Chains A and B, each alone.
Chain A
Amino acid sequence: MKFALSVLCAVLPLAAQDVKMPVGLDKLGAKASEVVDVSLDGALLQLAGRFLSEKDPDEANVKRLVGGLKGVYVKSFEFEDRDQYKESDVEELRAQLRGPAWARIVSARSKKDGENSEIYLKTDAGQISGLVIIVAEPKELTVVNIVGFIRPEDIRDLGGHWGIPKVDIAPVKPGKNDKKEDEK
C-alpha cells in the first residue's frame, strides 16, 4: 500500500506536467550566463491567480487565461558564446512531442541567424490541452511547456500589457536559406 502510494505520488506531478523537461537541460545551467527556471504547478497557479486583481483589466485578462491552466514550466538559458548546447539536449523533448496528441503548428528555421523556433500544440477531443515552444538561438535556448487550455495568440497578445513588452521587430526579408513551415 505504501509502495503504491509512493509510486502514485511520484507519478502524479509527471502526469500533470505531461511533457517531461529533459534532465540534460538542467546541466546547461552550469554553462549559461543567465538561467531562468520557472516551474508553476496547478496549486501555485491557483495561488498566483488569487493575487491577480479583477479590477485591473490586464490582470483580469491574465487571471482568465491562467484559470484554464494546470502548469507553466519555462527554462531559458543565455550563453556568452555560441554553440554551448547541442541539438541532442532538445531532442529528448522533441521525441516526446512526436506522439499522436501533439502537432507542430509552426517551425521557423533561419540558417543565416542560426535560429530554430517551433510551436507544438496538444489537443484532446478537439480542445487544446498543451503548448510547447522551443526557441533555439546560437546563444540562447528557451523551452516553454504550458499544460492546460491555452491558445498561443492569447499569450502573444499579452505583449504591451501587464509589464510584458510588445516586441516590434522589423519584418524579415526572405533569404534563400530561410525556411518556413506552417503546418496548420
Chain B
Amino acid sequence: MMDDFEQQIKAALAKKEPSPFFEARVLGAAKRQARDRRASARMWWASAIAAALLVTTGSAWQYEREAHEQAAGREAKARLELALKITSVKLQKISQKVEGI
C-alpha cells in the first residue's frame, strides 16, 4: 500500500522533459503581450493626437469663420453708412429746397 503511494509520488514528481517548442511558445506569448501593449500605447497616442488635431483644427476653423464674419460685418456696416449718408444728404437737400421755395 505504502509502496503504491510512494510510486505514485515518485511518478508525479519525476522530472519530465518539456514538450517540444515549449520555450518558443513561452517566448512567443511574452513577445505577443509586449507587442499588444505597444500597440495599445500607440493607439492611445494616435487617438490623443487625432483628438488634439481635431480640437486645434476646429478652433482654427471657428476663429477663421468669426474673423471672416467680422470682416464681412464691418464691410456691410461701412456700405450701409455710405448708403445712408448719400440718402440722408439728398433728402436734406430736397427737404430744404422744398421748404425754401
Contacts and interface: CB of A to CB of B under 8 A. Distances in A.
Nearest to B93: A167
Contact of B100 (A106, A142, A144, A171): A171
B73 A48 contact: yes
Contacts, number: 117
A38 B98 CA distance: 27
B83 A117 contact: no
A135 interface: yes
A50 B72 CA distance: 11
A135 B83 CA distance: 14
Question: Chain B contact residues: over half helix, strand or loop, or mixed?
Answer: helix
Interface in A160-175: 162-174
B77 A52 contact: yes
A142 to B, nearest CB: 6
Contact of B73 (A50, A144, A170, A171): A50
**Looking at B76, B84, B100, which has the most chain A CB atoms within 10 Å of its CB?**
B84
A93 interface: no
A48 B79 contact: yes
A40 B73 contact: no
Q: How large is the interface on A (under 10, 10 to 19, 20 to 34, 35 or more residues)?
A: 35 or more
Interface in A35-90: 36, 38, 40, 44-45, 47-48, 50-52, 62, 66, 72, 74, 76
A182 interface: yes
Interface of A: 36, 38, 40, 44-45, 47-48, 50-52, 62, 66, 72, 74, 76, 106, 108, 110, 117, 119, 133, 135, 142, 144, 146, 152, 155-156, 158-159, 162-174, 178, 180, 182
Closest 4 CB pairs of A and B: A171-B100, A48-B76, A156-B91, A167-B92
13 contacts: A38-B79, A38-B80, A62-B84, A74-B82, A74-B83, A133-B90, A133-B94, A144-B87, A156-B95, A164-B81, A165-B85, A169-B100, A182-B98
